[in-house]
Amino acid sequence: MIPSVRKYLTISLLLLFITPACGQRSQVGQSETPSPAVSQSADLDKETVIGEIGNPGVGDRYFPMLGNGGYDVTEYDLQLTWDPNLRFLSGSATIYGTSNINLLSLNLDLSGMKVLSVSMDDANLQFFVEENELTVVFPSVLIKNTDFSITVDYEGTPGLINDSLFPFEGGWFNSARGVLVAGEPSSSQAWHPVNDHPKDRAHFNISMTLPSDLSFVTNGVLVSKSSDAKSTTWEYETEHEQAPYLTTIAIGKFSQTFEQTFDEIQIRHWVEEGVQFPSQENLNLETMIIIFEELFGPYPFGDYGILAVNENLGYALETQTLSIFGKDLVGNQQIQAHELAHQWFGNFITLDDWSDIWLNEGLATYAEQLYLEKVNPNYNIDESFFEYYYSLSDQGYEFHVKPRPGDPGPTALFSSSVYIRPAMALHALRLEMGDPLFFQSLREYVRTFGGKSATPEGFIETFEDNANKDLELFFQQWLFEDQLPPR
Ligand code: ARG
Ligand code: ZN
């Protein structure tokens, strides 16, 4: 929260405290509630609860304003209407959550949208908006461990999130063709109120009404589609929880193609008009999934596919069960493998802090190598990858080595070193442990942290337990020093 709002809120909440007390209340924050001064006196009701202001950030080391403290979201129910001519979004977001402290107020992340009203149980709540924070004030303390639902009505023209710490632009991209939502570490707050941190995974239920000549695409399963004379309403549901930044949206001329089911996984792609989508030969997801299931354990979700946009994006993004690709990279098998591997590493297992980004990118990059190794009988991973990058660093190609991948800093979140060096570390570890123990540890890591956030400590401990060896120095040298460890 911005200091001025925080100060104002503190003052207004204090005013609530010092209104005259009249007996038997168990919650602070209502007008008849005892003040904190009264609550220190001996004759006071023992059940008096002092609430706290929910933190405007979740405590991320790199992005202090992402996420919020004091509660967890279980579901976002988003009812949206899009006017493509005015580029205007009207939204009603109902957020189902649980308090994990006694809350006087809580924050949601929301960037650039106008909030019309906030309500809980059909009663309007007081709110403040400053920069990318929406503060919602409760009429009385929301007691710890209470399930709640808050509805926020809002509107505006969504755009990119303004945050100088972000490594790349992210948010809601408007173009002449339509809309694409993409961004890591954040895009959601550009279009709906959210607890925008991968620590807080939730279900998404998204309904969008828009002119019938446009398609609406998002993650998960299309559960209904209904039209009237002019407009169509599309409704999607995610089967599993997902981190907010892993939600994508696309609006334009898209068609769902190449549906197939294998191993109980529904494969479907959403392809924008004009994209040359790769043939089965150049997008062999079935083979990739089989290989990764063998190495990492079962594919964690019920569906998968690619959202292919008619644009050269220059990157791909592992949005949950529907990875975003531009037409420039959609045929690239290594990147196809990379984004698929993120479904285990990054999506099923989320980050606890963005400074641990190597856990996502290192594993997804190493997975590319594992895939190449499996499908090409002649592929020599030591030569093609490990020795190759060592020799590059000998030749002074420092950008694969620096900044230190264990702590690259927010703006260098996706530097080459964050991808390459941890992948090299994993290969070095595999050479040291041997294949059976290494892959056993990797699968154990997925089993232990799937559906949760992992930490580097948790990752390292899993391998230490299996190797029966202290690996602290090993990871220190590989991830936190300026140079690669000697060969
Ligand atoms: N996690 C993404 C990947 O694995 C990184 C996306 C970086 N964003 C960007 N706009 N380049 O490739
Ligand atoms: Zn990646």
Q: Is the CB of 332 under 6 A from ligand 1?
A: no
Instruction: Please tell me the predicted confidence (pLDDT) of residue 6.
Output: 52
Distance, in Å, from the CA atom of 400 to the CA atom of 174, rounded to the nearest integer, reads 33
Place of tokens 């493509």: 84
Rounded to the nearest 10 degrees, the angle between the axes of helix 333-342 and helix 285-296 is: 50
Domain limits for position 171 = 52-244
pLDDT in tens, 345-373: 999 999 999 999 999 999 999 999 999 99
Q: Is the CB of 368 under 6 A from ligand 1?
A: no
Residue 49's pLDDT band, with cuts at 50, 70 and 90, is confident
Instruction: Please tell me the predicted confidence (pLDDT) of residue 42.
Output: 37
Question: Do residue 58 and residue 182 come from a single domain?
Answer: yes
Residue 417 counted as domain residue: yes
Question: Do residue 323 and residue 376 come from a single domain?
Answer: no
Task: Compute the distance from residue 477 Cα to the ligand 1 centre, in Å.
Answer: 25
Task: Determine contact, residues 304/289, Cβ cutoff 8 Å.
Answer: yes
pLDDT in tens, 376-412: 999 999 999 999 999 999 999 999 999 999 999 999 9
pLDDT above 90: residue 129: yes
Q: Is the CB of 235 under 6 A from ligand 1?
A: no
Distance, in Å, from the CA atom of 445 to the CA atom of 479, rounded to the nearest integer, reads 19
Strands 126-130 and 133-142: antiparallel
Of 212, 244, 276, the residue that ends a domain is 244
Q: pTM higher than 0.75 for the full model? A: yes
Task: Compute the distance from residue 354 Cα to the ligand 1 centre, in Å.
Answer: 13
Instruction: Please tell me the predicted confidence (pLDDT) of residue 189.
Output: 98
Give the closest ligand to the alpha carbon of residue 243: 1
Residue 487 counted as domain residue: no
pLDDT in tens, 101-121: 999 999 999 999 999 999 999
Question: Do residue 378 and residue 463 come from a single domain?
Answer: yes
Residue 8 counted as domain residue: no
Q: Is the CB of 460 under 6 A from ligand 1?
A: no
Rounded to the nearest 10 degrees, the angle between the axes of helix 358-375 and helix 456-467 is: 50
Question: Do residue 111 and residue 156 come from a single domain?
Answer: yes
Domain containing residue 108: CATH number: 2.60.40.1730
Task: Compute the distance from residue 165 Cα to the ligand 2 centre, in Å.
Answer: 19
Helix H or strand E encompassing 72: strand 71-83
Q: Is the CB of 315 under 6 A from ligand 1?
A: yes
Question: Do residue 117 and residue 154 come from a single domain?
Answer: yes
Residue 15's pLDDT band, with cuts at 50, 70 and 90, is very low
Task: Determine contact, residues 154/93, Cβ cutoff 8 Å.
Answer: yes
Place of tokens 């334009």: 252
